[in-house]
Structure 1
Amino acid sequence: MIIPIADVELETLLNIIESFVLREGTEYGSVDVSLDDKVQQVHNQLKSGEVLLVYSELHETVNIIPKQQLGEFEAAEANES
């Protein structure tokens, strides 16, 4: 299920994004990018719709996925339920 980011308190959303960035171990190459910058980049991607905030009812988790992976996410949820 897609969670509209407008429905999430900003502080909560930023905490979710920070957790995602730390968990994913995003690689930025030889350039050092601060945690705040990474969080802002993901926040901008969420606002533009490039990535989506999703809730897995099956696993009771929240994640951030690329928009093009939504079909795979929904199929996996349907197959496992």
Structure 2
Amino acid sequence: MIIPIDALEADTLYSLAEAFVLREGTDYGEEEISLDIKVQQVLDRLKSGDAVLVYSELHETVDIKRKEDIQLESDE
């Protein structure tokens, strides 16, 4: 089930984005990007609709997924 981002408090949304970034692992790119910037990038994608919050009833968890990944799953 997709959760609308405006259904959450700003602090909760930020915490979900932060947890998602921390779960993604270490960045070994040419430039190190701060946690705050990475979290803001995730929030920007959520606000633009490029990413969505997905609640799993089975696992009782919330995850962030790219919108196109959700569409691919529903097409299968």
What do you get for the CA RMSD once the two structures are aligned?
A: 1.9
Partner-residue secondary structure (3-state), 1:59: coil
Give me the TM-score of the superposition, normalised by structure 2.
Answer: 0.89
Question: Counterpart of 1:13?
Answer: 13
Q: Which runs of 4+ in 1 moved over 3 A?
A: none
Name the count of aligned residue pairs.
75
Q: Which has the higher helix share?
A: 1
Q: Deviations over 1:7-64 (max 9, x none)?
A: 0000010000000000012646111100000000000000000010110011100000
5+ long unaligned stretches in structure 1: 76-81
Q: Between the two proteins, what is the percent identity of the paired residues?
A: 58
Q: Specify the alignment match of 1:2 in structure 2.
A: 2
**TM-score when scaled to structure 1?**
0.84
* Structure 2: runs of 5 or more not aligned: none
